[in-house]
Amino acid sequence: MSEPALPDGVERRSFDGTERLATRGEAVYGEPTDGDWRAWNPRRSKLGAMLELGMETGLAGGETVLYLGAASGTTVSHVADFAGPTYAVEFAARPARDLLEAADSRPRLFPLLADARKPETYAHVVESDVDVVVQDVATRGQARVALENRRFLADDGRLLLAVKARSENVARDPAAVFEDVRHELADGYDLLECRRLDGYHVDHEAIVARPR
């Protein structure tokens, strides 16, 4: 069975003799570059790890994206290199300053200093019928964040969620945490694929889902 195709604008290219995922854009976090191309480090990006693992993200290139937990722009800058309008929500002021710098050379990247747990605070900015919601937030209640932001997704859209077990409960078995998150998500989503990101990110699970 062949792996899913990479989105348009994402390629496998050689950097220092090693084949890696890459997008075209200005470097953001000291990643290797080759001309206009920059390497996408899956150990610093949950979405990058999902693509490396061949998960069916549904990303094809050109989508409208809502990115929750953009931090300083490591992953969302790659997304904005190949996607359409990309709304990047980040709550903390310090990483948001770096995010603004990443957006300087990316006209499709729109940073929003806001709390992903309170989508009503950016609902007036983010367009409806978003194609993809990417969620990477370090907080308790990660399933609830995904459910609250479901309002933005098109009927055939996709949720790409990176669940951080230690943010939910540092003392519990991560497998039990992931099971609880999947169960809660089922209130508003059909789960299409779930995979542990071990090898790239410890105690993380990636979930691909669609709104029901």
**Residues making up the binding site for S-adenosyl-L-methionine:** 74-75, 90-91, 115-116, 136-139
> How is 147-206 classified by DSSP, letter by letter?
HHGGGGEEEEEEEEEEEEHHHH-TTS-HHHHHHHHHHHHTTTEEEEEEEE-TTTSTTEEE
The beta strand positions in the chain, using DSSP E, are: 10-15, 18-24, 33-34, 37-39, 65-68, 86-90, 109-113, 130-135, 153-164, 189-196, 204-211
**Residues making up the binding site:** 74-75, 90-91, 115-116, 136-139
